[in-house]
Structure 1
Amino acid sequence: MSVKRTAFWSQTAAGPLFTWLHLPAHAAAPTCGGKLGIVICNPVGHEYTHAHRSLRHLADALAAAGYPTLRFDYLGTGDSDDHMLAPRRIEVWLENIQAQVDWLKSNTAVTAVALVGLRLGATLAALSAGRQTVDYLVLWNPCVKGKRYVREMTSLAKMAAAALSYEQNFIETAGFLLSTETLERLKSIDLTNDVPTGNEKVLIVNPDHVSTDDSYANCLRQQNIAVDVVQGPGYLDMLAEPQDTKVPHAAIGAIVDWLARQGPAGDRADTPSTTRLTLGDRHSFRARAPATQRLQAPRAVRESLVIAGQQRQMFGILTQPERQSAAPCGPLVVLSNSGSVHHVGPNRLYVELSRALAEAGLDCFRYDLSNLGDSCCETSVEENHPYPAGAVANLATVLEHLQTELGYREFILAGLCSGSHLSFHAGLSLPDHPIVESVLINPLTFYWEEGMSLEIPSAYQVNKDAKYYEYAVKSLGNWVRLLKGKVDIAYIVKFTLKLFAQRVREGGKNMLERLAILPPSQLGRDLLRFKQAGRNISFIFSRSDPGHKILVSEAKLIARKMANRDDLSLYFIDDADHTFSKREKRDQLTDRLIRHLRHYAFQHPQPAKQQL
C-alpha cells in the first residue's frame, strides 16, 4: 500500500497551522482509518529542524500501518504563522495540539487519538492530555522538568553569546529564540506534578545513550496509569546535524508496534512502497511578515502551497505581497535547500526571508528538492544528500511549473550553502530558462564531487583556518595563552608556512593569468559565462566564512573585473556565522538582500557594492 500526504493550513482560533495529513493512499479522509488516529507533537528550536526527517518517516510508517496521522508546526515555528517572541507560547502550543486533535476527530473516522511527542513536544503532549480526552501517549525522551530544559537551552545560548544591538528580552539557542516569558513558563513545568487523570495508556521511549530514569514512569504508575517503557536506539543520530541524521527505524517500529497493540487501525500495508503528495482545500492564507530592524510592525503577505512536477514530487510554498491581483509581478525569487535542512531553512531563515521579501514587493518560492524535506518519499534517490546528482533537473522542473502553471516570466535563483551551489550551476546549465540572476550566500564549494566533505572541502580548509587565526589574533586571551605556553606553536608555524605557500601559488597564478600565459580557472570561465548569458551573479558572504577566500583564490582577476563593470555584486555581513544563527545577523542578511533585489519590483537604484 502507498502513502498519501496532504498538505494544508489548519485554521485555528489563534491562527493557521501548517499541517500534513498522512493516510494510506487509497483512503479518503472523511471515511479513512479505524478507531485510532495520531497527532505528532514536534520538538522546538534546533531539535525541530534536526528531527524533521525522522518524524516524517514516523508519520509515513504510522499511515502505512493504517493510522491517520497529523504532523504540524506550532504557531511561531516552521511554516506556520506568527513568531517565537509572541506572548503565551506554551499555552498557544497546547491550544494548537487540542485544535489538531479536534480536527482529526471531525475530519476522519477515528474515535480515539494518540499523541506522539519528542522532547519538548512530548512534554506538551503530556500537558495536553491533562486538558482534553487523549487515549494514548507516546513520550519520546520527554523533558520532565522544565527547569532542566531551560538550563540546557541557556547553556547553549551562553556558548554562542555575543554582544547584540537589540534590547534583548530573549535567549537564542542554535539560531532559535525563546522569550523570557516563555522561559519562565517552562521553568514552572514539572510533569511529576501534572499527571494526566484520565484512562490514558502511556509509552515512554528513552534514548539509548543514557541510563534509564524511571522516576516519571513510577510517578504515572502511582496514579494507576498503565505505562510501558522501552529504549529507542538511534536517538543521537536522529538529532545530528541535518546532513548527518540517520532515521531510527528500530525506535519507529517499536512505537508503531506498541500502538498496534492498543487500538485497531484501518487497512494497513507491510511497507509504504511509494508516496503521493496532494493539497487540501485550504492551501492559501494571509501570513504576517516578520518585524525586523527595517520593519517595526508586521504586515500581511499571502502564502500558497504548491506541488510541482509531472509526478507531483516536489513541494514548496509561494509567498506573495498582498495585492488586488494574484498575477505575478516581477521576477520570482526561488530559494533552494540549504544543506539537508527542509524548506524552512536553518534557523527558520527561509520562512522569515520569504515573508520579508514579499512585504518588500518580491514574490518568493521556497521548496524541497525531491530527495529532501517534505518532497522526499520512499523511492527518493540519495535521500537527505545536500548535493544530489539530479538537483539541477529538479530545479528546472520547478521553474517550468512556476512558469507554465503560475505565469512567472523571470526567476532569481538564491540559496545558502548547497543552495548557492545549485543556484550557480542552474544559472550555467539552464540557458533556456528565464533566469535573470543567481544570488550565492556563503557557498562552501563551487564544484562539489562525490567523496568531498559535506562541511568544507579539504582543499579549502586552509582558507577556513586562515579566517580563524585572523580573528584569533585579535583576542587578548589567546595572546595570554600563547605566553603561558598553552598554544601549539609548532602547529601554528606549520600552518603559517602552508598558508604562505598557498598565497605564493595564488599570486603567481594571478600574475600568469594577467599576462595571458595561463588561461582562466574553471570558476573564472564560468563567471564569464554568466556575463555572456546576460545573467547577473551576486555573492553575500559572512565576513568570517571561507567562501570569499575560495572565490578570490580561484578567480580573483575575473571577479574583480566583473565587479568593476557591475556584472558581479559582492556584499559582506560582519560577525555572522555560516548559517546566520544570530537574529541580528539574519535581519542584516534580509535587509541586504531586499536592498539588492527590490529594484526588480520598484526600480530602486541598487545599493553600493563592496570591493573584492
Structure 2
Amino acid sequence: MKPIVFGGRFGWLHEGRGDRGVILCNTLGHESVWTRNGMRHMAEELAARGIWTLRFDYIGTGDSAGADGTADQFESAVFDIETAIEWFRQETGVAHVTLCGLRVGAALVLSAARHRPVDDIVLLAPVISGRAYLRELMMVRKTWFDQMPAPLQAVQPASGPLNVLGQIYSDELKLSLETFDAAAMMHGATCKPAARVLIAHVRAAASESLRSALIAHDVSVEYRSFDEFTAFAQESVLSELPAKTFASVIEWIAPGRARSAHVSSESASWSGDLMIETPEAVERPVLIGERQLFGILCEPRTVLARNSVLLIANTSASAHVGDSRLSVRIARELARRGIASLRYDARGRGDSPAEEGDLKPGKPFTHIYAPCATEDTADAARWLAAKGFRNIVSFGICSGAYHALRAAIVEPALTGVVTVNIPTFTMPQPPSPDRPRDAALNSLAGYAISVFEPAKWKRVFRGERRIMPIVKFIASNLATRVRTRVVDALGLDRRRLASSKEVPAEPGAMLHALNEKGVRTVLVYGIFDSSMDILAAHFGKHGRRLSRYESVRVAVFDDIDHALFAAASSAKVIALCDTLLKEMSVTSKDAAVPEGTPAIS
C-alpha cells in the first residue's frame, strides 16, 4: 500500500491487478476511528485477491486538509466520493468500480451514486434514517456526559455545536443528517445508482424500505446479516474484527478470487514531494526507522520555535489522527503557532506494520501497554533528531502518556515530555483489554462528591453499581500512599536507581531519572481524573513531593476531561505545549535556524 494525496484528500492505495477496484468510504466521528483497523484489514484482503482498493479521508476528516465541523461537511463528503471515483479510474485504469460505505459512509455512497453511478455498491450497517442515527449519537453523548464528575458536567457548554466524544457536528451537518432518508432519496433518484447492491444489515426490517426503493430502479439487491457489528463498533482497543461478515462481503465483491499466500501490511515507497497543504502548515507522510513506522510530519509555514518538535504518541489503540481527530487538531494548531510536530503510529496501530497477532478475528487489541510502543516512540525521536530537531518533546494522553514518559527515560534524543492523565507508571499485570476503562473510574475527589448525590446511591441499591470495587480501590490507594512515603523518606528509589542499569521500576525512581537527565517534564492532570490518585499516592497531594526536582512540574486543571474531548480542555493543553516548546527553544544553544524563518521552501 502507498499513501496518496488528491485535491487535499489523504488516502491509501492498495495495489491490485486487473480492471476491478473498490473505494472504501469511512463513517464519521468516533466510529471512523474505532473501525479504522477493520477497514484497513478489508482493503488488504481485497488487494490480496488482486482488487485495487482505495481508502481515503474526506476533507475536514482524518489527515486530509480542512477544518472540523464545517457547515457543508455532508455535501462536501459526497463530492469527495465523486472526485475519488474519477481519480481512482484515472490512476489505476479500473473499469469496474465498487463503492463500499460503512454507517454514515453508506449514506454518503448512496448520495454520490445518484449523480455518479457505479457498478456495485456495498452498504455496511448503513444509516437508513438520519433522524434515528442522530438519536444514537445523542445517547452516546449522554453516556459520556453522565460518566463525568458533576463539576466537569457543570462547565460543559450549554449551547453551541453538538460535541460527541470530541467530534463536532455543526448545526448544518446535524440538519443534513436529520433530513436524510435513504429510501426517499432513492425513490426520487433519476438514474440507477448501481447494477448490484449488497446490504449488510444490523436489523433487516430497517433496510426493507431502501431495498424496495432500489428494486424499483431495477437494482439487484442482496442481504447479509452483520451480526458482528456491535463487537466491531467499539473503541479501538476493544474493537473485534468482523471476520465472518467481511469474508462474505469480499466474496460478493470478488467471487472465486484466490487470496495471495502472503499479504504485506508494510507501506510501499512513494515520492518525497507528497504533501498535504493547509493554511498553517505543510504536512508530509513519512516512514520512520527500520520498522517502517508511518507518521505525518507537520511543519509550520513560519518557524517560531527553532529546532523544536512535539512527538505525538497514539492514544490507546487509536491511529495517529487521534480520537475524533484530536492529534490532527493539536498538530495544526501548534503549526499555526510556529511549532512542528510528528504524529505517528506504533506497531499494530493505524497505518504502521502490525505485530503478529495484533488483530485477529474475535480478539480485540490487548496490549496497548506493551514495550514495543515505548520502543517505537524512542525510534521516532531518533528519527527526528537525525532530521535536525534538537528540542524533541514526547506527548501522550492516557496510555500514550505512559509510553511518552517511559521513552523519555531511556532515549537521549528526547529532551522533554508532556503527559496528560497518565493512568499508570508501570505496566499493568497482566495487560488486559479492560484496563483502558480504568480511566473511567472516578477520582477520590469525584467519589467524595458522589457521596452526596442520591442518584448514585440509588444505582448502588438497585444493584446497578457495585460498591466493593470502589472500596478496594480506595484501600489500595491508601496502602500505596503509606508505602511510597516510607520509600521516599529513606531515599530507596534513588538508591535503586544508582545501583541499577535497568529502567526504573518505581514511579519515584522514574521521575528522579528524568530530572537527572535534565528532561523537561510536565505531568498534566484533570483534578477529577482517577490518575490524580496515582499521582497523590506516589508523590503527595498534587505531586508536591516532586517540587524538589528542577526539571519536573505538575499542572493540575480543574476543568479538563480525561481524553481532552472538550474543546476547552484541548486548548489549555495545546497552550501549555506551546509555552514549553518555545521556552526550550529560547534556552537552546543551537541557533542554527533563526526564529521567523520559513519552514517550507
TM-score (norm 1): 0.83
Where 1:218 maps in the other structure, the secondary structure is helix
Query: Could you report, residue by residue, the CA deviation over 1:295-323 in whole angstroms, capped at 9, with x for unpaired residues?
Result: xxxxx222111111235x21001111103
Amino acid at match of 1:343: H
The equivalent residue for 2:347 is 370
The equivalent residue for 2:13 is 21
The reply to whether residue 310 of structure 1 matches residue 290 of structure 2 is yes
Amino acid at match of 1:471: I
Where 1:526 maps in the other structure, the secondary structure is helix
Q: Report the alpha carbon displacement of residue 62 of structure 1 after superposing the two structures with TM.
A: 1.2
Q: Report the alpha carbon displacement of residue 381 of structure 1 after superposing the two structures with TM.
A: 5.6
The reply to whether residue 348 of structure 1 matches residue 302 of structure 2 is no
336-345 or 217-226: bigger deviation: 217-226
The equivalent residue for 2:447 is 469
Q: Of residues 215, 218, 234 in structure 2, which corresponds to 1:221?
A: 215
The reply to whether residue 402 of structure 1 matches residue 381 of structure 2 is no
Q: Of residues 274, 284, 301 in structure 1, which corresponds to 2:281?
A: 301
Q: 1:109 to 1:210 in 2, by over 3 A?
A: closer
Q: Report the alpha carbon displacement of residue 83 of structure 1 after superposing the two structures with TM.
A: 2.1
**Percent same amino acid among aligned pairs?**
23
After TM superposition, the structure 1 = structure 2 runs for residues 64-213 of structure 1, keeping only pairs within 5 Å, are 64-161=48-145, 162-163=153-154, 168-195=159-186, 197-198=191-192, 200-207=194-201, 213=207
Amino acid at match of 1:182: L
Where 1:91 maps in the other structure, the secondary structure is helix
Q: Of residues 361, 386, 389 in structure 1, which corresponds to 2:338?
A: 361
Report if the CA contact (8 A) 1:209-1:236 is conserved. no
Gapped runs of 5+ residues in structure 1? 25-32, 289-299, 605-612
Q: 1:76 to 1:471 in 2, by over 3 A?
A: farther
Q: Of residues 409, 418, 434 in structure 2, which corresponds to 1:428?
A: 409
Query: Could you report, residue by residue, the CA deviation over 1:139-190 in whole angstroms, capped at 9, with x for unpaired residues?
Result: 1111112111122223333444545575843111122111111111222211
Structure 1 CA distance for aligned equivalents of residues 79 and 102 of structure 2:
18
After TM superposition, the structure 1 = structure 2 runs for residues 168-567 of structure 1, keeping only pairs within 5 Å, are 168-195=159-186, 197-198=191-192, 200-207=194-201, 213-261=207-255, 269-273=260-264, 275-280=266-271, 283-288=274-279, 300-311=280-291, 313-323=292-302, 329-377=306-354, 380=356, 382-383=358-359, 384=365, 385-404=367-386, 406-430=387-411, 433-456=412-435, 464=442, 466-473=444-451, 475=453, 486=461, 499=474, 502-503=477-478, 506-507=481-482, 509-510=484-485, 513-514=488-489, 522-556=506-540, 560-567=544-551
Report if the CA contact (8 A) 2:27-2:102 is conserved. yes
Amino acid at match of 1:191: A
Report if the CA contact (8 A) 1:462-1:499 is conserved. no
Structure 1 CA distance for aligned equivalents of residues 143 and 233 of structure 2:
19
Amino acid at match of 2:398: C
Structure 1 CA distance for aligned equivalents of residues 550 and 12 of structure 2:
45
Q: Report the alpha carbon displacement of residue 421 of structure 1 after superposing the two structures with TM.
A: 1.1
Report if the CA contact (8 A) 1:438-1:537 is conserved. yes
Q: Report the alpha carbon displacement of residue 136 of structure 1 after superposing the two structures with TM.
A: 0.9
Structure 2 CA distance for aligned equivalents of residues 125 and 345 of structure 1:
25
247-256 or 278-287: bigger deviation: 278-287
Structure 1 CA distance for aligned equivalents of residues 156 and 428 of structure 2:
41
Q: Report the alpha carbon displacement of residue 281 of structure 1 after superposing the two structures with TM.
A: 6.2
Where 1:204 maps in the other structure, the secondary structure is strand
Report if the CA contact (8 A) 1:41-1:71 is conserved. yes
Where 1:581 maps in the other structure, the secondary structure is coil
Q: 1:553 to 1:588 in 2, by over 3 A?
A: same
Q: Report the alpha carbon displacement of residue 81 of structure 1 after superposing the two structures with TM.
A: 1.6
The equivalent residue for 1:291 is none
The reply to whether residue 9 of structure 1 matches residue 1 of structure 2 is no
Report if the CA contact (8 A) 2:396-2:418 is conserved. yes
Q: 1:501 to 1:50 in 2, by over 3 A?
A: closer
TM-score (norm 2): 0.85
Report if the CA contact (8 A) 1:38-1:70 is conserved. yes
Structure 2 CA distance for aligned equivalents of residues 498 and 154 of structure 1:
31
Structure 1 CA distance for aligned equivalents of residues 224 and 476 of structure 2:
56
Q: 1:530 to 1:214 in 2, by over 3 A?
A: same
Amino acid at match of 1:34: G
Q: 1:244 to 1:493 in 2, by over 3 A?
A: closer
Q: Report the alpha carbon displacement of residue 249 of structure 1 after superposing the two structures with TM.
A: 1.8
Where 1:403 maps in the other structure, the secondary structure is helix
Structure 2 CA distance for aligned equivalents of residues 118 and 206 of structure 1:
10
Report if the CA contact (8 A) 2:266-2:352 is conserved. no
Structure 2 CA distance for aligned equivalents of residues 426 and 342 of structure 1:
19
Where 1:39 maps in the other structure, the secondary structure is strand
Report if the CA contact (8 A) 1:203-1:230 is conserved. no
225-234 or 94-103: bigger deviation: 225-234
Q: Report the alpha carbon displacement of residue 533 of structure 1 after superposing the two structures with TM.
A: 1.5
Structure 2 CA distance for aligned equivalents of residues 111 and 457 of structure 1:
45
Amino acid at match of 1:258: W
The equivalent residue for 2:596 is none
Structure 1 CA distance for aligned equivalents of residues 477 and 178 of structure 2:
53
Structure 2 CA distance for aligned equivalents of residues 210 and 467 of structure 1:
47
Number of positions where the alignment pairs a residue of Structure 1 with one of Structure 2: 563
Report if the CA contact (8 A) 1:304-1:319 is conserved. yes
Report if the CA contact (8 A) 1:371-1:381 is conserved. no
Structure 1 CA distance for aligned equivalents of residues 380 and 155 of structure 2:
39
Amino acid at match of 1:419: G
Amino acid at match of 1:180: D
Amino acid at match of 2:410: S
Report if the CA contact (8 A) 2:439-2:562 is conserved. no
Structure 2 CA distance for aligned equivalents of residues 392 and 568 of structure 1:
20
Structure 2 CA distance for aligned equivalents of residues 240 and 590 of structure 1:
28
Where 1:275 maps in the other structure, the secondary structure is coil
